[in-house]
Amino acid sequence: LAAADPRVLALAAEVTQSREQDIPLLLLKLKGILSSASLGCEELKKIKQDIYDYDLTQYCMLVLRQDHSRLRGGWATAAQLAEILSHCCVGLEVKEDPEEFYKKFLPSAIDNLLVLGRRLQARFIRTIKDEEKGAFLGWLQTVADAICWLFGGHVQLAACVLQNDHFLQLLITGDVETAVIMMSVLHHILRVNSSALLQIDEETLHSVLDELVYKLSSTTNPVIGNAATKLLLLVAKYCKELVKLLTTRYKGLRELLSNQWTGKGFDKHLGQLLDLLYLEQSSGKGEMQRQHQAACKIQAAWRGFQTRKRIKKLPQAVTTLQRSFRAKREQELQHLRKQKEDETLKLQMQLQRQRAMRLFHERQLALLDIIHASQVDKYMEEMEGKSALTIQRFWRGYRARRKFHLQKQSLKEYKAAVIIQRAACKFLEKRRRRRPPCPWKDPKGLTDEQRLALQQKVDDYIKLHPASQMSEEMSKELHMQAQEKLAQFLRRSRPDRRAAQRREVLLAQVNANMELLMSAPGLAETTEKVLDVFMSRSIPVATKARQSHNTMLKYTRCPWWKKLGDEFMEDDIIPDDALSAELGTLFIGGRK
């Protein structure tokens, strides 16, 4: 096998190692590689094969699917990549796994190109400026040419383009420029593959023909009329089976063409189309012709009525259209002005911030020049303290305001409840004062019979539940038994406590020795002083005590910005975590 082209190899390696946003601009180098070889030669085929083998065509196809308004190069790069992709696929003969190339890769490429065309069409319609409109229209034309070049090299893709939903959405548009471009693509499809309309399903075929006839009936633009007439003429010439469909599905098409589009500059093609339609109609029965004439008269009367009605409403419609257009334009201008004001305000705030920082630094330098060198540290400490107080004050104020804002609604509800309760209490107090007391109503008491019955129940309960009684000798005996059991328990638990204390002492000693061994020097550097540290019992205790003391001093001397989280802690209180890290391994001397 021949070696791969070094330029393709270098570009593939560079694309693999580059970031995602840099890949579109790197793929533009394929245009120079393709243009370096002459058209139709073996070298060009070899280059296209290498490009496909190293997945550069797959990169181009995936890049076309992205939103290029956020990528480097923009939509111009996308249009050039579409052209490069079509040129790479035409003339390429895949020998390994051709079914993957013809059945999956090429339809996916067509779909991505049509998606790119839809995005360019949408942005062309939304754009207001003429320069941007011209640029988007040129890029859409480039993408359309790439699609035509692609299915021109692979004829089987013509039906795939017609069957794609994105192509129908591109064709169904009210914009003149983009509609002409897409009808030129359809014209090229019929030129390349005249039977493409017969290969698609009936619903798609009806959608395409309906759109062409609708464009003829809904507009008076001669450019649209010329393009639609040529397309219908090609359909009638190359697909004889569809002439009958045109005459039966669109019964007023011939009269529409002859009445509305005669004398618009394309009478030659219009006459040929009318002759074909007339021949198809004349082959039918005379009754059908009379029905057509009657239908034409009815349609003419109806169109006249609709036209007169539309003319009456035309001034109001124009006024509404102008009003909506002016409102939309004013809204866009306000949006642009607001955007400029926001940018200006952001720039002014940035300049003010920079100016304030510069003045602050200048003031600091001036004060440092004035203050004596021995007082600089004291001055800086005072400034740090003041800064900390200022930050804490603003933070507490912000926290209090936020808390008040959150509690404002509940405070309002509490005050309303207090007011309602106060009013209710006053009302009840007034009503109680107005009502005179009733002297004849005394509280009801128990009668003699009820009192006797209640006393009988109490006596019965006492008899059923007598109170337990214990003599003084029994109480003392019970107390002596409890004391004896407690003494036995203490005697049994004393060895366990001593064993636990011994384990704690051994564990502390092991931890202290482990730390000393980890920080000890090597055997070659060992001295008698180091040996004394391991042989003595008091030196590890002193060492650990010194380390704990240094930890306490270090914590108390920490700068202010390290104590912001402990602003409500007393100065003489050290966190337990800081002490436990040092005292947890302290060796405690004693007998084993």
Boundary residue ending a domain (151, 174, 200):
200
Between 212 and 523, whose confidence is greater?
Answer: 212
Does residue 135 form part of some domain?
yes
Q: Give me the percent of the chain exceeding a pLDDT of 70.
A: 87
Between 564 and 75, whose confidence is greater?
Answer: 75
| pTM exceeding the 0.75 threshold for the entire prediction | no
**The tokens of 316 are what?**
């109001």
As for how many domains the chain has, the answer is: 2
User: How many Cα neighbours within 13 Å face the side chain of 62?
Assistant: 9
Residue 37: DSSP 8-state: S
Whether 261 and 229 have beta carbons less than 8 Å apart is answered as: yes
Does residue 352 form part of some domain?
no
Which of 66-75, 128-137, 353-362 is predicted most confidently?
353-362
**Chain CA centroid to CA 516, Å:** 56
pLDDT at 389: 93
Residue pLDDT, tens place only, 453-474: 989 988 888 888 876 666 788 8
pLDDT at 312: 85
pLDDT at 438: 58
pLDDT at position 570 over 60:
no
Does residue 491 form part of some domain?
no
pLDDT at 425: 93
Does residue 450 form part of some domain?
no
Whether 233 and 273 have beta carbons less than 8 Å apart is answered as: yes
- Give the pLDDT band of residue 281 (cuts 50, 70, 90): low
Whether 39 and 3 have beta carbons less than 8 Å apart is answered as: no
Residue 25, amino acid: L
- Give the pLDDT band of residue 585 (cuts 50, 70, 90): very low
Whether 587 and 541 have beta carbons less than 8 Å apart is answered as: yes
Containing domain of residue 109, as a range? 6-200
Torsion of CA 542, 544, 549, 553, to 10 degrees: 140
- Give the pLDDT band of residue 95 (cuts 50, 70, 90): confident
Residue pLDDT, tens place only, 7-59: 877 787 877 887 777 777 777 777 777 777 665 577 777 877 777 777 777 77
Using CA atoms, how far apart are residues 449 and 162, in angstroms rounded to an integer?
A: 109
pLDDT at 267: 79
Indicate the burial class of 133 (C-beta count within 10 angstroms; 0-12, 13-18, 19 or more): middle
Boundary residue ending a domain (429, 449, 473):
429
pLDDT at 329: 92
Q: What mean pLDDT do residues 171-182 have? A: 83
pLDDT mean across residues, the chain: 80
Least confident of 110-119, 250-259, 296-305, 479-488: 250-259
Find all residues with CB under 8 Å of 490, minimum gap 6, and list them.
none
Boundary residue ending a domain (145, 177, 200):
200
pLDDT at 151: 80
Give me the sign of the Cα torsion angle 355, 357, 363, 365.
Answer: negative
What count of other Cβ atoms lies within 10 Å of the Cβ of residue 228?
A: 24
Does residue 299 form part of some domain?
no
Task: Report the run of H or E that residue 294 belongs to, with start and end.
Answer: helix 286-370
Does residue 245 form part of some domain?
no
Does residue 251 form part of some domain?
no
Using CA atoms, how far apart are residues 77 and 69, in angstroms rounded to an integer?
A: 10
Using CA atoms, how far apart are residues 194 and 52, in angstroms rounded to an integer?
A: 30
**The tokens of 476 are what?**
């003392």
What is the domain-level CATH number for residue 176?
A: 1.25.10
User: How many Cα neighbours within 13 Å face the side chain of 39?
Assistant: 2
Q: Give me the percent of the chain exceeding a pLDDT of 90.
A: 13
Does residue 462 form part of some domain?
no
Residue pLDDT, tens place only, 212-251: 888 888 888 888 888 888 888 888 887 777 777 777 788 7
Between 392 and 513, whose confidence is greater?
Answer: 392
pLDDT at 573: 47
